[in-house]
Structure 1
Amino acid sequence: MHATASLALKAATMSKNFKNYKMYVPDYGDDAEPPSDDDGKGPPKNQGSAKRLSDDPNFDPLDLGNTPEQMAQYDAEQAEEEAAARHSQEWHHPDGLTPDDVDRQDRALGSVQMGKPRTVHLTTGPKTYMRLTDIMSMDSLREESRSEIPEQREQLRWKMKADKPLKLIGPHTEHAVDEVASNVFAQAPIFAPFLNAMRQSAHLSLVHGANFFHFDPTIIVSPPGLGKTTLVHMLAQASALPLIYLDGSTMMTTVDLTGGDAIYRASRPSAIYLGLIKHGVGNPLVVFDEVDKVTDHSTGARPNAAESLLPFLERTTAGRVHEQYLQIDLDLRFLNWVLLANDLEKIPRTVRDRCKIIQIPPMTSRDLAAMAKAEVKRRHLEPELVHMLTRACTRGEIKSLRRLNRVLDAAEATLRRARHH
């Protein structure tokens, strides 16, 4: 009897201790089932395992005092959580990618090298990535980051942006390229020679293995007012490519092409580099308007500033174009160059030899009248306007496409206001 009372007292004491420490004591009876975790009284998970740093509110992953072992454990925990999220039933990706797609894409991004684009085949279609410059070593970046000179720190900030791979995008089938050319032609039929040359060049790129939009450098020469600038904006919209616009008529140096010398306080990266980083695309449409008027007044400049384009237009040299401000080489082979000019003779022969030249003749009054008729129909304007515009073109009151578009824009704005009221 004394032994039984002693055992009962010990059992009560143990039960109290277990309760205080919130420990779980399972009942191993034949019909018993372990309680569910949902009631908060189940066995603690990972009993006996090391405490997770991700769950520790006092652990700061950015603390420089963390040991390598702590950081390794934290990285492993983060990787587990990401893997669990990717394979959970609640997986959602803004681009419609599956977990396996993301894994393949990450591997491609991690292995792409300068000069060697990588294509990864995803459920949404093939995606191609390129590296803009050589992989930067952490030692060199760490050394540059120690500088306390604001200009050098700004230079490093821009340089680090080049270390992220860029996408190569755009129509990647012959049918898609034809659709782009057709859509632009419907709005600008006068530029059919350019659109046909662009289409053929883009088709050839696809035959050679590209699965993105790319065509050879092209010069479009025409009298002022035919709508060359409007054309390239139409092309950018139809092809879904970003547009980098350079205006030769206002350019006093070639900084927009090559970047400024980093020794000067006001220096900056080239407009081409800034556009590539902004859009994250390695094959944008680069338009050099008024290329026949570009000048360079900087010290030691070329006699003809347009010759600064030469490294960009030749595929063998465009693979490594030196950026003066960043002091790194850039892979610019996939830029889609369109040079616009009014006078072909003012463009250096060396530049002309590296481009396809398309010359558009002046529009006759009959051409302008036909364009007016097509635009009135496309813009859903009043049919009576066709007769008025045809008479204005015949009398010489409308002598250019630019003037015609202004009249059409005004008529469209008037019609829109009338419908609004």
Structure 2
Amino acid sequence: MSKMRFVLSEFPDPKLEEAAIIRRLMAFQTCLQNKRLFSAQMSKSAENNIRSDWTLTNNDIPKALEIRIRRWAKKIHRNHMKRVGLTHLSPDDLQMLKPCRDGADIFELRNLHHADEIAAALHAEYPWLSDATTYVWQSLRQNCRNGRPGAHFAPVLLDGPPGIGKSAWARSLAQLLGAPEMIIDATVENASFSLVGSQRGWSNSMPGRLLSFMLRSSVANPLVVIDEIEKSGVPTSAKGRTFSLPDALLPLLEGMTARSWTCPYFQCGFDMSSINWVLTSNNHRDLPEPLLSRLHVIKLKTLSRDHLRQFITREAVKRKLSSESTENVATTIDQACRDGYQIDLRTVIRALELAENQQSRSTLH
């Protein structure tokens, strides 16, 4: 696993602290004076005999030279801090950034065949979401052929009816990639600061969930799922300011701005361009056009009867249902579809759970 630069600001170097510089300069001056005295007063053999008994100490440095050393150290430290972009942060904030000081990990594909294996596994489990699987498969292969580091695909929006497994598909994709995942329910966390954080200086200022998650995991290309994005709404403060989640996403979904995204809390730059985004919606027409322009929209259909039966068969094996119980569930679902009911995966799962409970129920005598 390779690393990439994540925090774009330079960290303070402990070796360039004023006290550390003074110690090094004083030690160097002491060593230099010792060498001059030995070479001027003794031969090489005599020097070897008494070197361990006669050396100067820092206290023997002239006061005027000591003052100059302290001035040099202060100037060197001041010039270093001018180049550092994190001097405004508290020690606790710097501690949060410390795991990514030397870069963040980036999950990579082993080769092109790895992308094929991921696509095959996804298609086997979610054949009705083949359009989404094909898009990610082709994007991963293209990214690998171009030599870009990390497993990455462009932001995608899965738009379709509820209960067809969009979020479950995204979680399976994260597991196959081996990357950590973060799921945000837009109906609950619908304000921008829940994702990106609040402005430094506010009484309740804090970093957002996204950056906190990436700093904890020290991973630059996690998979982030935002569920039902069209239901986020537009939260408004008492002063009339809006904190829309789609507005906060705009700079993060655009490649150029994501490479140097500025966190409102830390007030420094981060490279967020390697994040894999999966957004889901039930009706993409409710989303603002600027957001849609940054997403590859994949329109998904309702599940067919064949797809429902495949799902029932696979889940029945996982739940160790008998063939009779499996056939009863399949027949019930098939009849409901013929009667005109819209059946989704949630309905099927409830039916399977009921069959599982009935099968495991003890027989009464």
Query: Shared fold (TM-score greater than 0.5)?
Result: yes
Say which SS state the counterpart of residue 244 (structure 1) adopts: strand
Say which SS state the counterpart of residue 395 (structure 1) adopts: helix
1:351-373 Cα deviation digits (max 9, x unpaired) = 11211111111123443233223
Kindly report the root-mean-square deviation, in angstroms, between the aligned alpha carbons of the 2 structures: 2.7
The offset of 1:280, in angstroms, is 1.2
Return the match for 1:190 from 128, 138, 144. 128
For the residues of structure 1 that align with 2:318 and 2:159, how far apart are their CA atoms? 26
For the residues of structure 2 that align with 1:304 and 1:193, how far apart are their CA atoms? 29
Counterpart for residue 297 of structure 1: 236
Greater helix percent: which structure? 2
Please tell me the residue identity of whatever aligns with 2:10: I
- Contact preservation (8 Å) 1:130, 1:168: no
Matches within 5 A, 1:408-419: 408-409=352-353, 411=355
Percent of residue pairs bearing the same amino acid type: 24
Matches within 5 A, 1:276-355: 276-295=214-233, 296-298=235-237, 301-302=241-242, 305-355=245-295
The offset of 1:384, in angstroms, is 1.8
Please tell me the residue identity of whatever aligns with 1:313: L
For the residues of structure 2 that align with 1:329 and 1:300, how far apart are their CA atoms? 28
1:399 and 2:338 equivalent? no
Structure 1 residues 368 and 274: CA distance shift in structure 2, 3 A? same
Say which SS state the counterpart of residue 302 (structure 2) adopts: coil
For the residues of structure 2 that align with 1:275 and 1:391, how far apart are their CA atoms? 45
Say which SS state the counterpart of residue 384 (structure 1) adopts: helix
Return the match for 2:309 from 359, 369, 372. 369
1:88-127 Cα deviation digits (max 9, x unpaired) = xxxxxxxxxxxxxxxxxxxxxxxxxxxxxxxxxxxxxx63
Return the match for 2:178 from 215, 221, 240. 240
Say which SS state the counterpart of residue 136 (structure 2) adopts: helix
Counterpart for residue 19 of structure 2: none
Larger Rg: 1
Q: Which range moved further: 333-342 or 240-249?
A: 240-249
Counterpart for residue 217 of structure 1: 155
Matches within 5 A, 1:6-405: 127-138=2-13, 139=81, 144=88, 152=90, 154-295=92-233, 296-298=235-237, 301-302=241-242, 305-377=245-317, 379-396=319-336, 399-405=343-349
Structure 1 residues 188 and 165: CA distance shift in structure 2, 3 A? same
1:205-254 Cα deviation digits (max 9, x unpaired) = 10110342111100001111112222211111122110011111012420
Gaps of 5+ in 1: 1-125, 146-151
Q: When the two structures are superposed, what TM-score results if normalisation uses the length of structure 1?
A: 0.62
Counterpart for residue 64 of structure 1: none
Say which SS state the counterpart of residue 264 (structure 1) adopts: coil
For the residues of structure 2 that align with 1:189 and 1:275, how far apart are their CA atoms? 31
The offset of 1:407, in angstroms, is 3.0
- Contact preservation (8 Å) 1:172, 1:206: no
Gaps of 5+ in 2: 14-80
For the residues of structure 2 that align with 1:415 and 1:332, how far apart are their CA atoms? 49
Q: Which range moved further: 269-278 or 387-396?
A: 387-396
1:309-361 Cα deviation digits (max 9, x unpaired) = 11111111110111111111110000000001111101111111211111111
For the residues of structure 1 that align with 2:356 and 2:155, how far apart are their CA atoms? 35
Say which SS state the counterpart of residue 178 (structure 1) adopts: helix
Say which SS state the counterpart of residue 195 (structure 1) adopts: helix
Structure 1 residues 175 and 417: CA distance shift in structure 2, 3 A? farther
For the residues of structure 2 that align with 1:336 and 1:301, how far apart are their CA atoms? 29
Structure 1 residues 204 and 160: CA distance shift in structure 2, 3 A? same
Say which SS state the counterpart of residue 161 (structure 2) adopts: coil
Aligned residues: 287
For the residues of structure 1 that align with 2:102 and 2:356, how far apart are their CA atoms? 44
Please tell me the residue identity of whatever aligns with 2:236: H
The offset of 1:200, in angstroms, is 0.2
The offset of 1:305, in angstroms, is 3.9
For the residues of structure 2 that align with 1:323 and 1:350, how far apart are their CA atoms? 21
Structure with more contact order per residue of length (Cα contacts < 8 Å, sep ≥ 6): 2
Say which SS state the counterpart of residue 330 (structure 2) adopts: helix
- Contact preservation (8 Å) 1:322, 1:329: yes
Please tell me the residue identity of whatever aligns with 1:239: L
Counterpart for residue 102 of structure 1: none
For the residues of structure 2 that align with 1:156 and 1:233, how far apart are their CA atoms? 32
The offset of 1:377, in angstroms, is 4.1
1:240-281 Cα deviation digits (max 9, x unpaired) = 110011111012420133211122232211111111111111
1:16-40 Cα deviation digits (max 9, x unpaired) = xxxxxxxxxxxxxxxxxxxxxxxxx
Structure 1 residues 332 and 143: CA distance shift in structure 2, 3 A? closer
For the residues of structure 1 that align with 2:182 and 2:6, how far apart are their CA atoms? 19
For the residues of structure 2 that align with 1:191 and 1:135, how far apart are their CA atoms? 44
